[in-house]
């Protein structure tokens, strides 16, 4: 059976995760913008169409590295701690738990930048500074965490599908080849796992987008606020098809993103572990 490399320490997780997050968010940002505009209540063209597909990139860049670093730091530590105590046949549940913990931690960093990013993507504001001022003026500090629970509820099913598939594909391929998996091979596994999870969880992503784009006017209520109520309202008013808005760009984006994100992470992690960089 191929030998796994050691568990990365805190500094190695932060470096590898930060690099992976920056790589995927900057490379695939236009697809994310198109997906967001397809899911917006106003519709694709009214939200900007194909114009200004890099709107909100600055917010994404600010949150991508620390958010990804926090995810992998939590994921690796929880996985390592549980794998020693749980029988091998239950390892998929370990990966689900570790990925869920990672997402809960990462969303503390990711949600504020996601709120600002999506409001810029759909032309709610003209600049990063205006989006920050406008969100704070109308909703206060809690406005930056608009949709936190919705995003967590979306991310947990996503990661509970993605990471068990990812870890299974990596292990199966490594056993078949009787050697540790290479970074590009891990990237292919990440692409398959990410695309599968993306397609299945698109309705939750649509709900997350609607909730994050909801703003509170003077004395007005939020247009979308709860997960279940938003889900049922979209289905009732716009049909079930609306819950799968943006499924094609989302699946392509996350399939390619999974290749870049997890491939980059494995490459940097392997390099740091092999060279002993940040080992102490």
> d(Cα 49, Cα 41) in Å, to the nearest integer?
13
Mean predicted confidence (pLDDT) in 132-153: 88
pLDDT above 50 (res 126): yes
| Model confidence pTM above 0.85 | no
pLDDT at 190: 92
Mean predicted confidence (pLDDT) in 130-150: 89
DSSP state of 7: P
> d(Cα 239, Cα 203) in Å, to the nearest integer?
12
Q: Is 233 buried (19+), middle (13-18) or exposed (0-12) by CB count in 10 A?
A: middle
- What is the phi/psi pair of residue 123, to 5°? 60, 30
What's the pLDDT band for 220 if we cut at 50, 70, 90?
A: low
pLDDT at 247: 93
> d(Cα 122, Cα 10) in Å, to the nearest integer?
36
41: nearest Cα among 131, 123, 151: 123
- What is the phi/psi pair of residue 249, to 5°? -65, -35
Torsion of CA 74, 165, 191, 277, to 10 degrees: 40
Residue at token pair 């209540």: 41
Mean predicted confidence (pLDDT) in 264-278: 80
Instruction: Please provide the size of the chain in residues.
Output: 280
Q: Render pLDDT for 67-123 as a digit per residue (tens, 0 to 9).
A: 888 988 899 899 989 988 888 888 889 999 998 999 999 999 889 998 898 888 888
Judge whether 63 and 114 are in contact, CB under 8 Å.
yes
Judge whether 279 and 9 are in contact, CB under 8 Å.
yes
Q: What Rg do the C-alpha atoms of the chain give, in angstroms?
A: 19
Judge whether 134 and 125 are in contact, CB under 8 Å.
yes
What's the pLDDT band for 28 if we cut at 50, 70, 90?
A: confident
Mean predicted confidence (pLDDT) in 50-71: 85
pLDDT at 193: 95
DSSP state of 69: H
How many Cα atoms occupy the beta-carbon half-sphere of 194 within 13 Å? Answer: 22
> d(Cα 100, Cα 94) in Å, to the nearest integer?
10
256: nearest Cα among 191, 196, 205: 191
Judge whether 247 and 194 are in contact, CB under 8 Å.
no
213: nearest Cα among 155, 141, 152, 143: 143
């Amino acid at each position: 059976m191929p030998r796994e490399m050691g568990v990365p320490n805190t500094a190695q997780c932060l470096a590898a995760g930060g690099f992976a997050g920056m790589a995927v968010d900057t490379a695939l940002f236009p697809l994310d913008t198109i997906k967001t505009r397809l899911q917006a209540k106003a519709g694709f063209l009214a939200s900007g169409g194909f114009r200004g597909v890099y709107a909100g990139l600055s917010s994404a860049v600010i949150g991508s590295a620390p958010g990804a670093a926090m995810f992998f730091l939590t994921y690796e530590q929880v996985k390592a701690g549980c794998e020693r105590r749980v029988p091998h046949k239950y390892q998929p549940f370990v990966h689900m738990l570790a990925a869920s913990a990672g997402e809960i931690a990462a969303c503390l960093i990711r949600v504020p930048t996601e709120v600002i990013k999506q409001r810029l993507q759909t032309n709610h504001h003209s600049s990063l500074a205006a989006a920050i001022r406008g969100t704070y003026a109308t909703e206060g500090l809690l406005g930056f965490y608009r949709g936190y629970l919705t995003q967590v509820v979306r991310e947990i099913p996503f990661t509970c599908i993605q990471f068990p598939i990812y870890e299974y594909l990596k292990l199966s391929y490594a056993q078949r080849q009787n050697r540790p998996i290479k970074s590009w091979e891990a990237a292919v596994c990440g692409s398959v796992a990410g695309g599968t999870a993306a397609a299945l969880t698109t309705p939750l992503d649509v709900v997350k987008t609607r909730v994050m784009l909801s703003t509170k006017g003077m004395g007005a209520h939020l247009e979308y606020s709860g997960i279940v109520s938003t889900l049922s309202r979209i289905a009732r008013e716009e049909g079930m098809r609306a819950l799968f808005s943006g499924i094609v760009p989302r699946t392509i984006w996350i399939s390619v993103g999974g290749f870049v994100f997890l491939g980059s992470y494995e490459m940097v992690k392997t390099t740091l572990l092999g060279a002993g960089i940040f080992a102490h």
